Amino acid sequence: MITRDSLKGACSEGEALAICHEMRRQGNFAAVCRSFMHDEDYQVARNMLWALTKVSRDEIAQLQPMLHELIDLAMTTANPSVRRLALNVVERLAMPIADVRGDFLNFCLDHATDVAEYPGIQSLCLKLAHRMSLYFPEILSELHRILLTLPTESYSPALLSVRRRILTH
* Structural domain boundaries in the chain: 1-94, 97-169
pLDDT tens readout for residues 95-121? 999 999 999 999 999 999 998 999 999
Question: 41: closest CA among 66, 68, 18, 11?
Answer: 11
- Average pLDDT along the chain: 93
DSSP class of residue 65 equals G
Residue 29 confidence (pLDDT) = 85
C-alpha 64/C-alpha 112 separation (Å) is 24
Question: pLDDT, tens digit, for every residue of 6-40?
Answer: 899 888 999 999 999 998 998 888 998 999 999 99
CB 16 within 8 A of CB 47: yes
- Residue 126 pLDDT exceeds 90: yes
Instruction: Report the pLDDT value the prediction gives residue 95, as an integer from 0 to 100.
Output: 97
Q: Which of 70, 74, 75 is nearest to 60 (CA)?
A: 70
What is the pTM (predicted TM-score) of this model?
0.94
